[in-house]
Chains A and B, each alone.
Chain A
Amino acid sequence: MTDRLAARFAACKSAGRAALITFVTAGDPTVAATPAILDALVSGGADIIELGMPFTDPMADGPAIELANLRSLGSGTKTKDIFHLATTFRARHPHTPLILMGYANPMLVRGSEWFADQCRQAGVDGVICVDIPPEEDAELGPALRAAGIHLIRLATPTTDAARLPAVLNGASGFLYHVAVAGITGKQQAAQAAVEEAVKRLKAATDLPIAVGFGVRSAEQAAAIGRVADGVVVGSAIVDIIGSHGDAAAPFVQEFVAALRGALNVNSPHFRETAA
C-alpha cells in the first residue's frame, strides 16, 4: 500500500510549506451533505482530511464540535454511513489522506479487528482515538497496525519529557500536538509556547509534527505553519457548517482557501512566483 500520509507530508515539505489538515464531523449536518463538504475541503486546498466520528458524549470537545456531533447523530448518522462516506471519498480523491478521529466506544463496539478492517476496506489512512492513551494501546493499536492503518497519537502541553517516549512508542503517520491543555475550540495557544513545543517534539521523533486545537484564523495558521509540519483547523470550519447547514460547502471552500493561501505565503516557491 502506498503511504498517502508520508507522500503528502513529503510533497508539502518539498513545496516549503506546512500541510493543511482540516476537520469536519461525518454526517454534519447530514450524511447527504457531507460529500460536498469534503470535496470543498479538498478544492479549498486541504492536504489531509480528518473525518470526525460522532459520539453522544464527546468529552474532549468544546461546544462547536459537540454541537456538530449532536447535529450528526440527530440526523441519524450510523457507523456504516461513515465508512460509506470514506469509501466514496477515496474513490473521488485517490491521493488525499483521510483520517478518522473520534472516541473509543464507537470504534470498538464491534471489536478492534472489525474496525481496522473497515478502515482498510474504505481506504482510511489513519485513526486518532481521543480517549485511548498509550497505556491502553492493546484495545486498538495492534489491530490497526496489522491492517496497515496509522495510529496517530496526541502529545499535549502536559506530556513532559519523561512521558513523551511512551506516547511515541507505537505512534505513526504524524504526531498531533495539542497546543492547549483543554478542549477543542476557542482558547488559543501562545505562539512562543507552540514553537517551544514543536522544537522539543522534533528533537524526540522523526514523525511530522502537526499542531491543532484553537487554530481559528489564517494568520494563526501561517504563524504555526512556519514551525510545524502541519496545521489542524477544526472548530472554525465546523462553526461555518453550523451556520450554513446544507449550503455550507462554498463557504467552507472559501475559508479553507484562505487558510491555504496563508500557508502558501510561507513557501519559498510561492514567494518566487508571487515576485
Chain B
Amino acid sequence: MTISNSLRSQPDASGHFGAFGGRYVAETLMPIILELEKVYRDAKQDPAFEAEFEELLRTYVGRPNPLYYASRLTEALRAGAEPGKGAKIYLKREELNHTGAHKINNCIGQALLARRMGKKKVIAETGAGQHGVATATVAALFGMECKIFMGAKDVERQKPNVFRMKLLGAEVIPVISGSQTLKDAMNDALRHWVSNVHDTFYIIGTAAGPHPYPELVRDFQSVIGKEAREQIVEIEGRLPDMLIAPVGGGSNAIGLFHPFLDDVDVKMIGVEAAGEGLTGKHAASLAGGASGILHGNRTYLLQDEDGQITEAHSISAGLDYPGIGPEHSWLHEIGRVQYMPITDDEALASFQKLSALEGIIPALESAHAIASAEKVAPTMDADQIIVVNLSGRGDKDIFTVASALGVEI
C-alpha cells in the first residue's frame, strides 16, 4: 500500500515530480506520449507483462546478480580511518548483466511496451554506446528494426561499440550537428521520432525525457533496489545505512534508491561528474546548473543566463550530459538524496583501485561512485553498511583510461 505522504508515489497525474518532469514536447509527439502512458498503465496491471519481464531478466539478462561484500576495499579504507571507523562496502553487481551494465533492464521493459503498441521499429540515442548496444540487443531479441543515433565524435571514440551494434543488426547513424555528442544524438533521435511516430518506438536510455519515460524507466530499473534490499536483509539481517550510485541521467541510481525512499534511516548519495572540477568543465547539473527545460522535461540543466545549454564534460561518456532525470532534481530539492561531485581524476584513481583490490574493473561511471564511497566510508562506523551500485563493467573504458594515464595500448 502506498501511504499518502510516501516519497515513492511520484510523479503526480500530470507527470511532475514536484516542480520537475512534465511533458515538454512538440505537439506532434503529444498523442503518442499520451498513448504510451495509457499502454504503460495497462501493462502495469497485467500480470502477464510482469511475468514476461521477470522471466527475461532471469533467463536472458542473468538476474538476480549478486550483492558482493568488497572486503579488501573495506579493509583498505579502514586502514586509513580512525579506530572503529570504516563502513562495510557492498557492491551491487549490475556489471554482471548481459551487455555489461544496468541499461539492459530498461531496454527489455521498453521493448515489451513497443511490442504491446504494435511498433516494429525502435530507435535510441547513445553516448558511449552502452545504451545503444543494449537497445540493439533487445531489438535482435524481439526481431525489431533498430536505428541508433550517436554523436559523430562518439562514433569515432567508441569504435568497438559501434561494431557491436552493427553485429547485432542495428544501423548506427552518426550525428553531425551541435557538439556531436550525447545531447545532439538525443536531438536527432527526437527529430527522427517526430517524423516516424506512426511506426517507431523511442527507447530512451535514462530516467529522463517527457512523462511517462522517467517513471517507467525508474520502474524497470527498480529491480536493482528490490534485489539489493532482499539481499542485504538476507546477508546482514537489516537495511543498509547508505546507498551510493553514479548519476548521469540517473537511471541506475533511481533504480537503486526508489525502493528505499521511504526508509528514513537509509541515506543516499548520487554522484555527479565534476569533470575537471566545478570551476572548470564538468557535467554536474545539480551542483552547477539551474532549473530549465530540455528534451521533454523540466529539470536541472547546465545553461547560461539566456537559457542556452552549455556543453558538459566528463571523462565518463555515460555521465557527459548537461541534464539529469527530473526525479533526482526533486530528491535534491527536498533533501532526501545528497548529491556529491567527483572529478575525472578521483574517478580514474578509483577505477584503478577497485581493479587492483577486488579484481573488478568498473565502468568509469561506476568508478565515480567508488570514489564517493572512499570518501564517505572512513567517516562512518565500522558496523555500518554501504551499498554501492556497480552499474557497469569497465572493459569499454580501457582505451580512455590508458590515454588519460599516458599509456599506449
Contacts and interface: CB of A to CB of B under 8 A. Distances in A.
B368 interface: no
Contact of B24 (A56, A104, A163): A104
Main secondary structure of the interface of A (DSSP, over half): loop
Contacts of B26: 59-60, 130-131, 133, 154, 156
Contacts of A73: 308
Which of A66, A78, A157, A181 lies at the interface centre, i.e. has the most chain B CB atoms within 10 A of its CB?
A181
A51 to B, nearest CB: 16
Interface string B17-49: 000001111111111101000000000000000
Contacts of A155: 27
B195 A78 contact: no
Interface stretch (B136-144, B246-254, B291-299, B371-379): B291-299
B194 A56 contact: no
B303 interface: yes
B244 interface: no
Which of A55, A60, A132, A133 lies at the interface centre, i.e. has the most chain B CB atoms within 10 A of its CB?
A133
B198 A181 contact: yes
B38 to A, nearest CB: 12
Contacts of A107: 307
Given A105-B309, A106-B307, A133 B178 contact: no
B14 A109 contact: no
Interface stretch (B81-89, B183-191, B358-366): B183-191
Interface residues of A, number: 43
Contact of B28 (A78, A109, A157): A157
Contacts of A70: 177-178
B28 A56 contact: no
B306 interface: yes
A182 interface: yes
A78 B306 contact: yes
A181 B28 contact: yes
Contacts of A178: 27-28
B287 interface: no
7 contacts: A55-B307, A59-B190, A133-B30, A154-B26, A156-B27, A158-B31, A182-B195
Interface of A: 55-60, 62-63, 66, 70, 73, 78-79, 103-109, 130-133, 135-136, 139, 153-160, 163, 167, 178, 180-183, 187
